[in-house]
Amino acid sequence: MAVAPGARVDRFEIFFDLVFVFSFFIITRATAMEVTGQALLHGVLVLAVLWWTWVVHSVVATRIRLGEGFVPVLMVVGMAALFCFALALPQAFGDPRRNSAGPVVVAVSYLVIRAVHMILYIHVVRDTPHQRRQVFRFLPEIVFSTLLLLGAALIPAQIDDLGRAGLVRDGLWITVVVLQYGTGIIGGTWGWGVASAEHWTERYDLILIIALGESVISVGVGSNLLGQPPSWPAVVAAVLGIFFTAALWWAHYDVIGPAARIALHATLGRARVAMARDAYAYCYLPMIAGIILFALGAEGIVHAVADPSVPITEPAHGLQVPLLFIGTICYLVGNMLFQLRTLHTVSWSRVGAVLLLAAAIPVGENLPGLATLSLLTAICVGLVAVEVITMGDARQALRDAVFQERATHEAHEAEFRARWHEDGPEEQRG
């Protein structure tokens, strides 16, 4: 079944995203085991490859309803492959001399996921020879990226020097990421058709909420309240974690996200496809990466605050504070790029917030963990407060436009559905 111009996200797509919830969780958990520069690099590489599979998945979902006909059968196969991909991620960057089974599972699972998407897309364009030929132009990217991942699993095991083996493996993963995202740019706007702007924007907004939910999970894991009686520092830290996560949710979903949806609706043809690709497929990646980074920092800080053996006045150690602030900066910068691409504007309040967050990193490193969380929360909530005041007229105009849109849409739906009652008696008489 084709995707109608006004279609919304169907239930099966949300069901499919449950596996991505698990994938984000695994990436965060695997990185949190040992937070080092190398572990962060590996986490970013895995996230980039995983995100590209989701982007391709969303492109397929713009052409065919994933919950209709035989499609759910294939998509369940893809879900199983994605689940195996996520399960093997913690071993993807382990000691190559000990075990290559995990990296091989990653490569094979990746191939299955991409094959499912390719089969569906070929089926969609089966009656259009020109489009079918165009689809096969993307086949080399699938083949080479799979071979590179398989090489990253097998080649390092043949290298005696562990450091050199790690460099080879990381280089192959980096090449995969460059190949994937470079192909998206070089391929232009073909194959990225957006029949329903509503479906596309809602799809990406939902996955971003899933990522924000991962940050809430990390704060909850860090609080460790399930394993010990709650203390007031742990409760305060958990509440602060919810507050700054909600502030980051507000930063996107209050004005920028809804306005971008309207902008995509108002754009047609290749310009719409280019906007959808650049703003959503590409700019969302630094936002999601930022969420995972600040979730890692928040988890470590909250865990220390909740630990009765750690003095409440002791500053956070290691990379926790930089991750907390840099992750938030990454999220806001990605959101500003998204705003620039869709609305062609930049909010100077956000530029100021980014600069303030950067300046707060050395301050936060010398503060107790609870004070550091309070500082970050104050900056994020302050940004929201400033924008609520300064963007008051724009917010009201946006909400009026959305209300009018919804009311008009409902009127048209009611008029269309009235025909069912009008045709009913005639059908009964016939």
3-class secondary structure per residue, the chain: CECCCCCCCCHHHHHHHHHHHHHHHHHHHHHHCCCCHHHHHHHHHHHHHHHHHHHHHHHHHCCECCCCCCHHHHHHHHHHHHHHHHHHHHHCCCCCCCCCHHHHHHHHHHHHHHHHHHHHHHHHCCCCHHHHHHHHHHHHHHHHHHHHHHHHHHCHHHCCCHHHHHHHHHHHHHHHHHHHHHHHHHCCCCCCCCCCHHHHHHHHHHHHHHHHHHHHHHHHHHHCCCCCCCCHHHHHHHHHHHHHHHHHHHHHHCCHHHHHHHHHHHCCHHHHHHHHHHHHHHCHHHHHHHHHHHHHHHHHHHHHHHCCCCCCCCECCCCHHHHHHHHHHHHHHHHHHHHHHHHCCCCHHHHHHHHHHHHHHHHHHCCEHHHHHHHHHHHHHHHHHHHHHHCHHHHHHHHHHHHHHHHHHHHHHHHHHHHHHHHHHHHHHC
Q: Which range among 42-56, 98-112, 329-343 has the greatest average pLDDT?
A: 329-343
Residue in the structure block whose two tokens are 């169907």 = 10
Looking at the chain, the whole-number percentage of residues with pLDDT higher than 90 is 28
Lowest-confidence pick of 118-122, 305-309, 351-355:
305-309
Lowest-confidence pick of 257-266, 293-302, 411-420:
411-420
Domain-wise residue ranges, the chain: 1-193, 196-390, 391-421
pLDDT score at 237: 86
pLDDT at 139 over 60: yes
pLDDT at 155 over 90: no
pLDDT at 89 over 70: yes
pLDDT at 273 over 90: no
CATH of 196-390, one of 3.40.50, 1.20.1410, 1.10.12, 1.10.287: 1.20.1410
Model confidence at 345, in pLDDT bands (50, 70, 90)? very high
pLDDT score at 160: 79
Check residues 73 and 225 and name the one with the higher pLDDT.
73
pLDDT at 303 over 50: yes
pLDDT digits (tens, 9 = 90+) for 236-264: 888 898 899 999 999 999 999 999 999 99
Q: What tokens were used for 319?
A: 């990379």
pLDDT at 307 over 80: no
Q: Which range among 208-212, 358-362, 389-393 has the greatest average pLDDT?
A: 358-362
pLDDT at 224 over 70: no
